[in-house]
Amino acid sequence: MMRTLDLLASDSSHLPFLYVFKESKVMEKYGYEIDLHIVGGAKAPTMAHRAKLALAGEIDFLSGLHHETYRERAKGEKRLTYLAQAQNNWDDRLVASPAIKSIDDLKGKKIVCHSKAPCVSGNLRAVLETCGLAPGEINMDVIDDTSGKFLDFVGEISSGKAAAALVDMPFDLYGVKKGLHVVGEGPGLREADECKAFGFSSSLPSPKDALTKAFELTAAHGGVGHDEGDS
């Protein structure tokens, strides 16, 4: 009999990989099936529900918990543990007008950023400073738009209202088609980690070990048609 594991994604940008993970049924070889949820749905209306649901045993795994794990540990909670890194490269791209040849050209120029979250605007600011810009030289317009209308941000560059914009992939490709370009490559500062609250026992193979192995299969082969020896 299959046991259902609840996996909660923090953001829709995590879903392409996680849906392949779920729909490939790679976990079934270990005796589990995945029930996938996303923050904003009935299971977890807000980001603040994530750690609470995991610690209450209502969610088995979380994608993108980030710093919340450290905050809980600082309060003495030790059950939240990172299992796997599902993303090595930053999934945002800094798109700019042809006049911007390097980060140095962005001094004082308007940069549209699509989220005020520390893992987005905070990372971008840190990257710009690491690349040589002083804090006072960074002119960032943080819109914090959750509608996904990144084409509008690309349009701000084309219209001359902004010099650059930070957008999720694949909206950088829309910018390239309009004659814009990506400034450098996004550094690996933003990672979609899988996190779990330990504390239950089962006669099935360990959910932790099963998920880690299944993640490897999904990343390498799309999770389909490969046995243990293929990964």
Of the chain, the percentage scoring pLDDT greater than 70 comes to 73
Which range is least confidently modeled, 42-51, 89-98, 102-111? 89-98
Pair 82, 194: CB distance under 8 Å: yes
Does one domain contain both 67 and 114?
no
Which residue do the tokens 């140095």 mark?
A: 104
Between 67 and 190, the higher pLDDT residue = 67
Does one domain contain both 84 and 96?
no
Is residue 82 predicted with pLDDT exceeding 80? no
- Final residue before a domain boundary, out of 160, 182, 204: 182
Between 200 and 99, the higher pLDDT residue = 99
Is residue 109 predicted with pLDDT exceeding 80? yes
**Residues 185-196, mean pLDDT to the nearest whole number:** 42
Does one domain contain both 160 and 221?
no
Tell me what pLDDT residue 123 has.
Answer: 83
Give this prediction's pTM: 0.56
> What residues pair up with 81 in beta bridges, in sequence order?
196
Give every CB contact of residue 195 below 8 A, 6+ residues apart in sequence. 54, 61, 62, 63, 65, 69, 80, 81, 82, 83
Give every CB contact of residue 77 below 8 A, 6+ residues apart in sequence. 55
Residue 79 pLDDT grade (very low, low, confident, very high; cuts 50, 70, 90): confident
Is residue 216 predicted with pLDDT exceeding 60? yes
E-only strand ranges, the chain? 3-9, 32-38, 61-63, 80-85, 92-96, 110-113, 139-142, 164-168, 181-182, 193-197
Which residue do the tokens 């950088």 mark?
A: 172
Does one domain contain both 208 and 164?
no
Which residue do the tokens 């990172």 mark?
A: 82
**Residues 12-34, mean pLDDT to the nearest whole number:** 81
Tell me what pLDDT residue 189 has.
Answer: 29
Between 65 and 158, the higher pLDDT residue = 158
Does one domain contain both 198 and 211?
yes
Does one domain contain both 32 and 46?
yes
Which range is least confidently modeled, 52-66, 175-189, 213-227? 213-227
Burial class (CB in 10 A: 0-12, 13-18, 19+), 190: buried
Does one domain contain both 96 and 173?
yes
152-182 core/surface letters (b: 16 or more CB in 10 A; e: else) = ebbbbbeeeebbbbbbbeebbebbeeeebeb
Residue 124 pLDDT grade (very low, low, confident, very high; cuts 50, 70, 90): confident
Which range is least confidently modeled, 33-37, 68-72, 173-177? 68-72
Torsion of CA 126, 129, 134, 137, to 10 degrees: -70
Provide the token pair at 198.
């330990």
Q: Would you give the DSSP letter of residue 113? A: E
**Residues 49-66, mean pLDDT to the nearest whole number:** 84
Rounded to an integer, what distance in angstroms lies between the CA atom of residue 231 and that of residue 228? Answer: 6
Identify the domain containing residue 82 by its residue range: 3-88+191-230
**Residues 68-88, mean pLDDT to the nearest whole number:** 74
Does one domain contain both 72 and 100?
no
Is residue 212 predicted with pLDDT exceeding 50? yes
* Phi then psi dihedrals of residue 197, to 5 deg: -100, 115
Which CATH number characterizes residue 219's domain?
Answer: 3.40.190.10
Of the chain, the percentage scoring pLDDT greater than 90 comes to 14
Give how many domains the chain has, as a whole number: 2
CA 156 to chain centre: 25
Does one domain contain both 138 and 152?
yes
Does one domain contain both 146 and 123?
yes
